[in-house]
Structure 1
Amino acid sequence: MRRAHAGIPLAIFLAGAALASCGDGATDKPPPAPFALGAIVGPAVAYVGENVCFSLPITGGPTAEVAWNLGDGTAVPPAMLFTMVCHTYTEPGRRLLGATAIYKGQKLVATRGVAVVRKPMAIRPNTSSTIVLDAKHRHLWVANTDHDHVARLDADVPAFLPQSLVNCGAPRTLAISGAILAAACQGDGTVVFYDLDKDETRGKIDLGPGSAPFGVVADPRGEGVFFVTLSGTGELAAVRAEDHKILSKIPVFPDVRGVAALADGTVLVTRWRATAEGANVAVIDGAFPAALAAGEPLLLPPDVGLDSDTNNSGVPSFLNQIVPSPDGGRAIVPSLRANTVTGMYRTGKPLSFETTARAILTEIELGGPTGTPFERKAGRYAFDDLDFASAAVFSPEGDVIYVAIQGAERVEVRDAVSFDVAGSIDDVGHAPDGLVLSEDGKTLWVHASLSRLVNVYDVSDLSSPPVPLGGIATAVSEVLFEDVLRGKQIFYSSRDPRMSRTSYMSCASCHLDGEGDNLVWDFTQRGEGLRNTTPLAGRAGTAHGPLHWSANFDEVQDFEHDIRGPMGGTGFLPDDVFHAGMIDQTLGAPKEGLSAELDALASYVASLGSFGKSPFRSNDPAALASRQKGKDIFFSAEAGCSTCHAPPRFTDSALAADKNYVLHDVGTLGPGSGSRLGGPLPGLDTPTLRGLWKSAPYLHDGSAPTLRAVLRDRNATDQHGKTSHLGDADLDDLERYLLTLDDDEP
């Protein structure tokens, strides 16, 4: 080996090629091979802090001089026969290597890339997902929420028909620990276990009425322990499959959803819906055996001043999942950035279709190796021309991240450090919301939940579009009516230019799962004002009366106006039809029957007839007595609450043939309340009180963060029912009653 040149870092060493003998001088020697370089040989992934070597095959240049560029600012000057170089990288990132060989005046260059990552943990982190791979038995398991079952599929295509082996109410996510599968069933408040080896159900745990479990993840340390987020009660539970036992349960914050677990005992939990102050992620100590200890939540504050054609201000919204990197040093949160910062009233600037919402990734630095305190730093990456980022998965080495974009129906492939484009997969099916990779990282399965398919792709070579290997059905039959399913697909799709220009928005951008995002938007430019998103779930379309706080829509088909306006779509009605007669007025001629797509959309929204089960329902005698006292106050003539909020709908709102809707001024209108249909806003349509436990903040402008604020702070003049005479105990009872108004009898 030649001596290294002065200035070359000690981390680099070079090896020369052996010189071949020139032979015995015979005249019939073959002509020398032309001077040429082969491809640089070496690993595709290098680990930070570990030595890695690359070599350069050379033919026809026995005395060539070779110079190297290692891609991180380290350069090796030309020297004879330096055909191998070794180096230790100190920072992660994708590096472009270059080798330049010079021989008899000829200069040839070879380049290649290498991904530098931190070394994966020996026991990889786990995260909740709608789809999991049982590699041992070559099975996929998929949560079929609409079908109330978990299906087992063959992992390879072509596949046999799926089998529905776990039945429960609205399963949302799945996890595997050893030979045990766990399903979090939001609809019936249970976690169900299945033995993968014995092919049989292993029982379930009932987590309580209204608990609404959403995320489930296996503790990487084993022992059949799972962590479960209870979205209804705002708690995290640790459960064990072997004896169906709840090991521990702690409060976190409202709306918990995504959950991930690291082998050092760290558990990460997301808050699904943001507040005006931002989104939340909690870092929890899951000390073995799962004696949970809550940590202080990390606030992901809103971004401001970012509005452009490629970015927007706003808060991270709809945090369904949190995905730790394989090395455990950081986590990625896919979500949507909702622009509740900008608007004509708030900033004097209008929202455009490009600045209202878009897909983002939030990157949270976890602090590195086990034992290092969490640094709680966070950065964000915004996607251009794409809506909600619904799920993500890292490659096994952590050099690439795959991101499902729900409405655009595609998977974005990004460098896991820089987030530069590494590829993309288009047309992956309706509403992709789950991703899983094979253990070798060569096969990607995409759960397109509203296509009722898992689409399979060969991702072994990302230099060209990944090859589709086929689709695997997730259900044998369909449980939704054809028009409802089609309407749901339209509701979630931003891909269709009739819905949204350049795939930025869909109905689900504010109403994921048929709920509301619990955010307050500035709709002043729409002729409205500050508007707290109204949930759709439970209201069954127009079964509770006209739509919106100002009763400016009287049929779901009127959303054609929002689609054509702020969403930037071309609309589902032909222009000549839309502008005929009074169809282009929201309370004008009916649109029903004019568009199959709008009618299907209305059918889906009308199917959303359930509010769910309140977690505030209790059979405890003291709670029952308090609720009854609150109910008595509510229906008393003095309070007068039931005058406008009479059961069973708890609203006096109703459709009217003359479109002359009764609006009430209950003393909450203010400068930001805006207008209605181009004129003054005389009052507000009465909202139902069912589902209050999950729809804070309250009032049309979100100015009441709690029910106590509605009853006292925002009702000082008793225009919104008479409550000024009530003491704290009476208000406690009234709040308890209001928070229990769900699908059950009042």
Structure 2
Amino acid sequence: MSLVLAGLVCWVFGLAMLANAASQHSIDERHLFLPLVLHGASPLPNAARWGAPIARDPQRGLIWVVNPDAGSVAAIDPDQLQFVQTLPVGVEPWSLAFTPDGMSLLVLDRARGELVVLDPGQATVRARLALGPEPGQVVVSPDGERAYVTLQAMHMLIIVDLNDFTFLRRVPLSAHPYGVAVSADGSRVYVTHFYAQSVMPAGMGRDDGAQGLVSVLDAQGDHVGTIYLSPDQHGFANQLASIAIAGSRAWVPLIRAAPELPNTLSTTVFAAVATLDLATQQEDPTAQLNLNDEAVFGSPVNNPVAVVPSPDGRILYIVLAGSDLVELVDVTEPTQPRLLGFLPAGRNPRGMVLSPDGRYGYVMSYLSRAVTVLDLHLRRVVATITVAPETLDATLLRGKILFNTVTDPRMAKSSWVSCASCHADGGTDNVTWMMADGPRQTPGIWQAGATLPWHWSAALDEPHDVEDSIHTLQFGLGLAPGADPPLLGRTNAGRSADLDALAAFLVEGIRTPRAVAPSAASEAGRALFDALGCVSCHGGPTWSISTLPGLPGTLDLDGNGMVDAVLRDVGTATAADVRGQTGFDVPSLIGVGLTAPYMHDGSLPTLAAVLDSGHPTPGLVRSRPLSPAERDALVAFLLTIDDAISPVK
């Protein structure tokens, strides 16, 4: 049977199934036809590939997507617009990729640090490979011989031989590799580094103090270059979430951070897409897409996480996680981009894949637990297909949605800033922001409920006090009615069901990242940690003495706006600090390897620099100075601290 005839048979059969599909899923009844898809057609030859949470089976034509909160992957049939199957894979599947023959589906389980290789046809597991903590994305080479996996917590790229599922190489990289793509001929691998890298001391607190990085490697993993994304009038390039390639160009969605004062609504975080010229291995600043430039792109948007070029490379589909949209931009003339419009993409979209002809887009709508099907020619939603059951209770789900969105004016004004803009997936942006209190480094908020009070000045005694942050940082209307009480005054709990939900998510809904495995060096460092008395500030199950000394609303007897009992003076306050002369709240060491730079003002770039400074009494001579070997052992130990390691008592 010819491919065309087979396609016609599928189309006729699809019509018979349409009524059943329509009864199960949200389908646009004005658009009752099924696309003619030739399942025998493989992807275009010599096509570049990049990491994503959604992918098309090149042989069967099914669309597969990760379900991070359900621990599974699922498939939909794009012809019949219906759910097909789900496969459990672990705890938190995050990125997936197919081999060109469709025989293997590679899935990253971020929580377990595993690469799970599935046979999608037989619905079986072919292999499980232990990678290490916090993998970011996976991509397969065009010839199907290799997989490339970024490992964020260990700052490396892992190359896997897909013939026998063994490790070919572990390639050390600059800090926090995350997005990954492979060129069409397989000769180049491009890796984005999620966080910007400082270019001067305390650079994460300067608008021009840091730059984005994209590492360039050959197919074997040898480093052949670095593409730098320079700061501009909107700040420095940060949170480089992915990379996509078409021809000699690549695009990187990012958030530009401008931490210096004044912190106005339109100058703190700025959604953008960087354009890279792969021929010269340089950024093309003339083709940068400044998505929050209202004169060109209309309404501001939030948290771009993926860019998908059309097959001809003339249109970019930009996935906006915080805005619940896909933005369509014509880049036929790269220096004169033209906004084509926006399409709704469900709650918190994280990735998108196209049909082979480029007409249909399939969006991973993370918090809708669905795939949203878009007709990109008629510019309308065709279907919303549920792919996972809800695993969170209603309160946590509501809190997670509020945390990630700018579409609710109570959370953000004009769609600029969400909670996730500074705390991606509950972590940190690694930026030192200039605040009313002085310079303040963004902490991760995992395990935050156990280490109240919050903020470096211990100014929040309950999670509901983030209502103040919504007002002052996101310029939102707020979730609770009426006037807010003082931060350390009467409780905010119970004022609003949505505020209660957001507070519950902050305390219960954020997974603590995994740390590197213990080693002989880290065990020696653990003994030193104990012997040097580090437990006096960083002991116990939370690795911090920060804990509420009483009930919220009773902790500010002197009226200075701080919970003084938890503050410790470690000699780091400067003239830039309005608060801090009496000390700072002690941060937890859980996940400390992911939160550089360090101290309240981000003044120390590495853990080694913290120890070399003389912390906790910088400037004073230690009674027992650390040798370089002891310092390295202590750093090795600190990098192992997560919520699974037993505390030093």
TM-score tier by shorter-chain length is 0.7 to 0.9
Partner SS, residue 395 of structure 2: helix
Residue 314, structure 1, aligned to residue 226, structure 2: no
Question: How far off its partner does 1:154 sit?
Answer: 2.0
The match for 1:549 among 456, 464, 471 is 456
Counterpart Cα distance in 1 of 2:592 and 2:231: 25
| Cross-structure match for 1:171 | 93
| Cross-structure match for 1:352 | 264
Aligned in 2, Cα 1:492/1:155: closer, same or farther, shift over 3 Å?
A: same
Residue 528, structure 1, aligned to residue 437, structure 2: yes
Aligned in 2, Cα 1:375/1:730: closer, same or farther, shift over 3 Å?
A: closer
Question: How far off its partner does 1:262 sit?
Answer: 1.0
| Cross-structure match for 1:593 | 494
Aligned in 2, Cα 1:455/1:628: closer, same or farther, shift over 3 Å?
A: closer
Partner SS, residue 224 of structure 2: coil
Aligned in 2, Cα 1:606/1:157: closer, same or farther, shift over 3 Å?
A: farther
Residue 279, structure 1, aligned to residue 203, structure 2: no
Residue 257, structure 1, aligned to residue 152, structure 2: no
Partner SS, residue 503 of structure 1: coil
Q: Which has the higher contact order (CA 8 A, sep 6+)?
A: 2
Residue 559, structure 1, aligned to residue 462, structure 2: no
The match for 1:611 among 512, 518, 521 is 512
The match for 1:293 among 217, 222, 226 is 222
Aligned in 2, Cα 1:205/1:190: closer, same or farther, shift over 3 Å?
A: same
| Cross-structure match for 2:68 | 145
- Unaligned 5+ segments in structure 1 are 1-119, 307-312, 344-349, 368-372
| Cross-structure match for 2:59 | 136
Contact 2:447–2:507 (8 Å) recurs in 1: no
Counterpart Cα distance in 2 of 1:173 and 1:720: 48
Aligned in 2, Cα 1:294/1:136: closer, same or farther, shift over 3 Å?
A: same
Question: How far off its partner does 1:169 sit?
Answer: 2.9
Give CA deviations for 1:652-672 in whole Å, capped at 9, x if unaligned. 111133314221111011122
Counterpart Cα distance in 2 of 1:612 and 1:238: 23
Aligned in 2, Cα 1:187/1:730: closer, same or farther, shift over 3 Å?
A: same
TM alignment of 1:70-219, pairs within 5 A? 122-160=45-83, 162-177=84-99, 178-179=101-102, 180-208=104-132, 210=133, 212-219=134-141
2:394 aligned partner, one-letter code = E
Contact 2:570–2:617 (8 Å) recurs in 1: no
Stretch deviating more after TM superposition (395-404 or 549-558): 549-558
Contact 1:414–1:423 (8 Å) recurs in 2: yes
2:595 aligned partner, one-letter code = S
TM-score, normalised on structure 1? 0.73
| Cross-structure match for 2:419 | 507
Aligned in 2, Cα 1:246/1:720: closer, same or farther, shift over 3 Å?
A: farther
Aligned in 2, Cα 1:716/1:651: closer, same or farther, shift over 3 Å?
A: closer
Contact 2:228–2:282 (8 Å) recurs in 1: no
Partner SS, residue 536 of structure 1: coil
Give CA deviations for 1:424-476 in whole Å, capped at 9, x if unaligned. 23432111111111111111111110111111111124xxxx1211101120x
Aligned in 2, Cα 1:391/1:609: closer, same or farther, shift over 3 Å?
A: closer
| Cross-structure match for 1:728 | 628
Question: How far off its partner does 1:629 sit?
Answer: 3.0
Partner SS, residue 443 of structure 2: coil
Counterpart Cα distance in 2 of 1:158 and 1:633: 60
Aligned in 2, Cα 1:586/1:138: closer, same or farther, shift over 3 Å?
A: same
| Cross-structure match for 1:36 | none
Counterpart Cα distance in 2 of 1:148 and 1:262: 30
Residue 664, structure 1, aligned to residue 568, structure 2: yes
Aligned in 2, Cα 1:670/1:506: closer, same or farther, shift over 3 Å?
A: same
| Cross-structure match for 2:207 | none
Contact 1:193–1:241 (8 Å) recurs in 2: no
Counterpart Cα distance in 1 of 2:235 and 2:90: 37
Question: How far off its partner does 1:627 sit?
Answer: 2.8
Structure whose residues are more often helix by fraction: 2
Contact 1:157–1:470 (8 Å) recurs in 2: no
Aligned in 2, Cα 1:121/1:441: closer, same or farther, shift over 3 Å?
A: closer
Partner SS, residue 483 of structure 1: helix
Counterpart Cα distance in 2 of 1:556 and 1:246: 44
Partner SS, residue 450 of structure 1: helix
1:612 aligned partner, one-letter code = P
Partner SS, residue 710 of structure 1: helix
Contact 1:386–1:503 (8 Å) recurs in 2: yes
Aligned in 2, Cα 1:253/1:121: closer, same or farther, shift over 3 Å?
A: farther
Contact 1:217–1:260 (8 Å) recurs in 2: yes
Counterpart Cα distance in 2 of 1:263 and 1:485: 39
Counterpart Cα distance in 1 of 2:174 and 2:631: 23
Counterpart Cα distance in 1 of 2:148 and 2:166: 12
The match for 1:447 among 359, 364, 376 is 364
Count of residues paired in the alignment: 569
Identical residues among aligned pairs (%): 33
Stretch deviating more after TM superposition (487-496 or 331-340): 331-340
* Greater gyration radius: 1
Taking only aligned residues, the RMSD between alpha carbons, in angstroms, comes to: 2.2
Aligned in 2, Cα 1:142/1:253: closer, same or farther, shift over 3 Å?
A: same
Give CA deviations for 1:194-252 in whole Å, capped at 9, x if unaligned. 224444332222224x2x222111101233x2111111211112213331111222111
| Cross-structure match for 1:330 | 249
2:437 aligned partner, one-letter code = E
Residue 393, structure 1, aligned to residue 308, structure 2: yes
Contact 2:144–2:162 (8 Å) recurs in 1: no
Counterpart Cα distance in 2 of 1:420 and 1:378: 13
Question: How far off its partner does 1:520 sit?
Answer: 0.6
Counterpart Cα distance in 2 of 1:268 and 1:741: 30
Aligned in 2, Cα 1:182/1:590: closer, same or farther, shift over 3 Å?
A: same
Counterpart Cα distance in 1 of 2:404 and 2:335: 29
Counterpart Cα distance in 2 of 1:570 and 1:244: 52
- Unaligned 5+ segments in structure 2 are 1-42, 198-203, 205-209, 293-299, 557-562
Counterpart Cα distance in 1 of 2:80 and 2:459: 50
Partner SS, residue 203 of structure 1: strand
Counterpart Cα distance in 1 of 2:573 and 2:623: 18
| Cross-structure match for 2:188 | 266
1:640 aligned partner, one-letter code = G
Partner SS, residue 425 of structure 2: helix
Counterpart Cα distance in 2 of 1:610 and 1:459: 35
Give CA deviations for 1:43-63 in whole Å, capped at 9, x if unaligned. xxxxxxxxxxxxxxxxxxxxx
Question: How far off its partner does 1:538 sit?
Answer: 2.8
Counterpart Cα distance in 2 of 1:553 and 1:633: 33
Counterpart Cα distance in 1 of 2:135 and 2:349: 21
Question: How far off its partner does 1:688 sit?
Answer: 1.0
Residue 693, structure 1, aligned to residue 612, structure 2: no
Counterpart Cα distance in 2 of 1:448 and 1:121: 26
| Cross-structure match for 1:492 | 404
Contact 2:44–2:356 (8 Å) recurs in 1: no
**4+ residue runs of structure 1 moved beyond 6 angstroms?**
none
The match for 1:381 among 289, 302, 309 is 289
TM-score, normalised on structure 2? 0.84
Counterpart Cα distance in 2 of 1:487 and 1:267: 37
The match for 1:409 among 277, 299, 324 is 324
TM alignment of 1:611-690, pairs within 5 A? 611-615=512-516, 617-618=517-518, 623-624=519-520, 626-636=521-531, 639-655=532-548, 656-657=550-551, 658-660=554-556, 661=563, 662=565, 663-675=567-579, 681-690=581-590
Contact 1:487–1:597 (8 Å) recurs in 2: yes
Partner SS, residue 267 of structure 2: coil
Question: How far off its partner does 1:648 sit?
Answer: 1.7
Contact 2:236–2:258 (8 Å) recurs in 1: yes
Contact 2:614–2:622 (8 Å) recurs in 1: no
Counterpart Cα distance in 2 of 1:723 and 1:316: 42
